[in-house]
Amino acid sequence: MIASILALEVPSVPHVTIWEAGPLGFNKTAGIYFFATFMTLLLIFLGTRQKRLVPAGFFQNTAESSIDFVKNQIIMQTMGTDGLKYLPYMVTLFFFIFFSNITEILPGVQFPANSRFAMPVVLSLITWAMYMTVGIVKQGPLKFLKNSCIPPGVPKPILPLVALIELLQVLIVRPFSQAVRLFANMLAGHLILVTFAVLCAATWAASITLIITPFTFLLLVAMTGFEILVSFLQAFIFTILTALYIGTSMHPEH
């Protein structure tokens, strides 16, 4: 039994993240993004098709509570009332990322699409383009560059170095770190679930004692529940960072 446990093979990272492409390059990752897009549109449509003063039904309650959450906990906290015009985009972004993540726990899918790097990069570049455009339009190119790169109160001898660091942060570090944060967290969670699933299957096949086998299974269930929370948190963090960056461009620090 011990030999069978020691001989178990944990799948490599490419084995659990890279899928063969079908016609026109369509693969499992693309299918998940189509699913996330469809579910986002469906939830918003079903939640808003009947306008009632008092929400009724699962979809309307879910849609309205989610919209209120994004409005009050994300937009109002980072952008103020001026950011309410971005509410449709923020809600869509939040749901799209969440549905792209939650497929990690769906039987037969068991893969979060955002554990591939491409879409997090695309979403972060959209955020980058939005806060750059808002900053230039609201403040003007030169003022936006000055407010972004020259913090108040910096001693003149180190001002060039600080300005260079701030410029790199605005142009490169923000979008890169935002994309890596989403990608790395979802990939790590996916690999952890795969590892525990393989361990659980191995202990079950090896007929390990009645104590160890249920323990590994319960640990797998607990990790699955934790990944549900991570899927939500990563959608929330990405959305609130987007709102924060746009809010900073709208209302520069003085």
pLDDT tens per residue across span 100-149: 999 998 888 889 999 999 999 999 999 999 999 999 999 898 888 888 88
Residues in the chain: 254
Over range 172-194, report the average pLDDT.
Answer: 92
Host H or E run for residue 179: helix 174-205
| pTM passes above 0.75 | yes
Q: For 226-243, how does the pLDDT look when each residue is reduced to its tens digit (9 = 90+)?
A: 999 999 999 999 999 999
Determine the pLDDT at residue 254.
Answer: 45
Q: For 214-223, how does the pLDDT look when each residue is reduced to its tens digit (9 = 90+)?
A: 777 787 788 8
How deeply is 145 buried, as exposed, middle or buried, from its count of CB atoms within 10 A (0-12, 13-18, 19+)?
A: middle
Determine the pLDDT at residue 110.
Answer: 85
How far the first Cα of the chain sits from its last, in Å, is: 67
Mean pLDDT of the residues in the chain: 84
The dihedral built from the CA positions of residue 170, 173, 176 and 177, taken in this order, carries a sign that is: negative
Distance from CA of residue 217 to its chain's centroid?
Answer: 27
DSSP string, 183-216: HHHHHHHHHHHHHHHHHHHHHHHTT--TTHHHHH
